[in-house]
Amino acid sequence: MRYREFGSTGLTVSEIGLGAWQLGNRKDWNGPDEAESLAIVGAALDAGVTFFDTAPGYADGHSERLLGLALRGHRDRAVLCTKFGHTPEGTDFSTGALRGSIERSLRRLGTDVLDIVLMHSPPPELCDGGLVPHYGILEDLKRNGLIRAYGASLDWPQDIDMVLATTDSKALEVYLSAFHQETWEATERAGAAGAGSVVKVALESGWLTGRYDASSTFVGVRSRWTPPEVRRRAALTARFLELVPEGWTPVQTALRFVLANSGVSTVIPGTRNIAQLTANLEAADGDLPADTLAALRALFAKEIAGDPLPW
C-alpha cells in the first residue's frame, strides 16, 4: 500500500480506501451481512487500508455502526469520513440538523472525533454559495475538537470551485472516472489549494470492471440506466477494455487512472465481498503507463466531453 497526504489537513491516507456504502446494505446493493462486513473491514486493515468512507444514510445507519464495530481497538489506524444531509429518516440539509447528525454519527461509529465530515451531494441551490452558514457550524465543531476537516461531496467542477472560493474547506469527495473526467482540472485546482480529494464512483458502478456489456440487465439502483444509456456505456466500456495495459486488470487501470490526478488523495471503490476487496487492492502498487493515461484522456475528449454520461 502507498500513502498520500490529505491536502493540508495533516491527515495521511492510503491510496486505496474502503467505500462502505455496501456494508450491511441488503436493500440497495445486496451487500454483505454483519459477519462478512466485519471481515471485509478487517481484511482491509490487514492490507494497509487506512481510509474509510461512510454516511448516516448508508444502510439506514448500519454502515456507520458496522464500521465502528469493526474498527473497535483499531481507531488509531483509521481515517474516518462520514457525511451530512441524507439520513435514515430522510433528507435534511437544514443548519439546525447539522450538529445532531454529527453527534449521532459519532455514537454509531463509536468514536470521539470524526476525521472528515462532508456535505453529502448538496442540492444545486445550496452549492451556489448557499452552504456558507453550514460551514460556519462545521468550523465551530472543528474548533471544539469533534471533527478535524470538512467539505463536500460533489460531482461537477463549478461546484468544486464554488466550495473552494466561498469556504475554508480542506476536504472534498469528487466524482471522477475514465468516463467522468469533467472534474479532472477542478480536482487538480483543489489539490493546489490545499484540499484533499476522495474519488467516488471510480469504477462507474461496475462498468469499468468489465463485468457488463450491451446484453446486461440491472436491478436495484443500477436499473436507473435506460436502454440507450446501457448501449452507450457498453460501447465505451469496450473501448476502455482495449486500452487496458498488458498484464493489468480493468480494475487496476480504472483506479490508477484517477490516482494519476495530482489532486487526488485516495479512491474508495465499493466492496461487497473479500474477492472484490482483493481485486481493488491490486491497484495499490504501480503507476499507470503514460501512454494509457493519455489514451484514456483522449477517449473522454472524443467520445464523452460535452455529452456527459448520466450517473
Distance CA 140, CA 143 (A): 5
d(CA 225, CA 233): 9
Residues 286/253, Cβ–Cβ less than 8 Å? no
Q: Which residues are catalytic?
A: 58
Cα–Cα distances in Å, from 50 out to 58, 176, 258?
20, 21, 18
DSSP string covering 116-176: EEEEES--HHHHTTTTHHHHHHHHHHHHTTSEEEEEEEESSHHHHHHHHHHS---EEEEE-
**Which residue has cell 452552504?**
131
